Amino acid sequence: MSYKIPMGPYHPALEEPYKLDMICDGETVSDAKLHIGFNFRGIEHLAETRNYIQVIALMERVCGICSNIHTLTLCQAMEKLTGVEPPPRALYIRVVMAELERLHSHVLWAGIAAKLMGFKTMFMTCFALREKVMDVLQAISGNRVNYSMNRIGGVNRDIEDPLALLGMVDLLEREMIRTIIPIFTTSTTATLRCAGIGILANEKAVSCGVVGPTARASGVGQDLRRAAPYAAYSEMEFDVPVEKAGDVRARLLVRALEIMESCRILRQALTKMPPGEFNTGDGKIVFSTGTAISRVEAPRGEVVYSVSWKENSRNPARVHVRTPTFQNMPAIRWMVIGARLADTPLIQASIDPCYSCTDR
Amino acid sequence: MDSSGVQWFDVGDQSVREVATAMKARCARFVTITATELPGNEGLRLEYLWDLDGQLLGFSFHLETNSVESIFDICEATDWIEREIHEGFAVDFIGREYEPLLLREGNNLGVNLREEGR
């Protein structure tokens, strides 16, 4: 006999509200429906009422985890419309901020995944490690969540002593190699809870157009930092981890390996950071009429901003945001079909969903 | 590619379905659709974005009426964005059924339109 089990909109496994209605045959999920919109704030519409300074502060609040990525993508689009080019040091600082944000996002996700596996000790270990990254972000920007770093033509704050941050990178890398990666890859708890569970086959990943670590764990190798470099990524050497299994363990491995690659990128950006200005100053900004598109590889995957402007207008005519979770979430349906009901909280969490981003 | 970050293509008299079929044949990845309400009574503009090996390809369609053919059956990745545009701009994507996405059952369509109920 089939019966329906709702998960959400309020549920211990969900960090923010959304709803997954599952049709079950016994303990096995036979189909599922997703419901979003519980965090809908009408931000795109609101953006049309803000000027080019206010809109940056507004879009920073689309997401509480990857706030920096949203302003980076928006500013890149506005720079295309204004013809303003950030100085080289600003591009390096943008890379540092983006990678620090990826680090704290991935470590946070590892902690939440550990909690959902019933592995509370690992949850605490991950969050203690994440604090080190948050301390660095706070030291650079003065803030822990909304960093206010990006502006048209560069960044608002300099990193005065980049080499001083190398100690944190070493510490993080050491902890990942010594503790987190071995436990996640070899412990019986992690293996039993993650291997062969929530599989998204390569063909389905391509068909659903999923992005970021979710795609790379299903054998789709695209990473915008490599495929369409922005900021100073074209000057960085790094690998793009790809796994083929498509299960929760593969998504976990991809993120763990990406933490190592982020450390590698950070070390290069901090040691090679060029001297000079970190923004273009407070000169007059003139927008040309048109639409500019900007894409960035956020921790969860590709973020796309489409920004339209009319000459002589202070406000954008349109700001459209396509977040990675918006593209990844429909794939949860295919991941949970055939899964045991008890595994579904971990499966839905394995895409590292951000519901506020999705709803905007 | 132009300075906007996209290679825009003139669609001529091609339909959205013909473009989608051609993109799928080239193994391009669907990225998104951006709907924009044009000033006055000029209608709406839909911009379809596809990624081909890291290159962003754009196809712009002008809608005089609030309807266009759905490409959901060609590309399932368009499901949510078609539903979102349906709710935000009251666009009818012909040939598909909808379930509420961001709105709840019974809410009015067109929440992103400047004039309600247009």
Q: What is the pTM of this model?
A: 0.91
Q: Is B34 on the interface with A (CB under 8 A)?
A: yes
Closest CA to A34 of A22, A46, A43: A22
SS3 content of chain A, % helix, strand, coil (to 5): 50, 15, 35
Q: Does A13 have pLDDT greater than 80?
A: no
Helix (H) or strand (E) holding A20: strand A19-25
Residue A245: per-residue pLDDT: 93
> What number of C-beta contacts closer than 8 Å exist between A and B?
93
Confidence of residue B116 (pLDDT cuts 50, 70, 90): very low
Reduce the DSSP state of residue A274 to 3 states and report it: coil
Which residue, chain included where needed, has tokens 């436990």?
A183
Residue A246, sorted as left (phi over 0), alpha (psi -120 to 50) or beta, turns out to be left
Contact at CB, B75 and A330, closer than 8 angstroms: no
> A36 near A328, Cβ under 8 Å?
no
Q: Does B3 have pLDDT greater than 70?
A: no
Give the separation between CA A246 and CA A58, rounded to whole angstroms: 35
Burial A181-217 (b: 16+ CB within 10 A, else e): bebbeeeeebeebbeebbbbeeebbbbbbbbbbbbbb
Cα separations in angstroms, A40 against A17, A18, A357, B98: 11, 11, 9, 18
Q: What ipTM does the predicted assembly reach?
A: 0.89
Mean pLDDT of A177-181: 84
Residue B118: per-residue pLDDT: 41
Dmax (CA) of chain B: 43
Reduce the DSSP state of residue B63 to 3 states and report it: strand
Q: Is B109 on the interface with A (CB under 8 A)?
A: no
Which positions in chain A have a beta carbon within 8 angstroms of at least one beta carbon in chain B?
33, 35-37, 40, 42, 44-45, 77, 80-81, 83, 206-209, 222, 224, 226-228, 290-295, 302, 304, 306, 308, 317-318, 320, 322, 326-327, 329-330, 359
Contact at CB, B5 and A77, closer than 8 angstroms: yes
Residue B25: per-residue pLDDT: 93
Q: Which tens digits make up the pLDDT trace of A265-284?
A: 999 999 999 999 999 988 88
> A90 near A159, Cβ under 8 Å?
no
Contact at CB, B32 and A207, closer than 8 angstroms: no
Q: Which tens digits make up the pLDDT trace of B35-88?
A: 998 887 788 999 999 999 889 999 999 988 889 999 999 999 999 999 999 988
Q: Does A198 have pLDDT greater than 80?
A: yes
Mean pLDDT of A13-33: 87
Name every chain B residue with its beta carbon within 8 A of the beta carbon of A302: 31
Amino acid at A311: E
Q: Which tens digits make up the pLDDT trace of A31-60?
A: 999 888 888 888 998 999 999 999 999 999
> CA nearest A37 in B: which residue?
B102
Query: What domains does chain B contain, in order, with CATH numbers?
Result: 2-117 (3.30.460.80)
Q: Which tens digits make up the pLDDT trace of A233-242?
A: 999 999 999 9
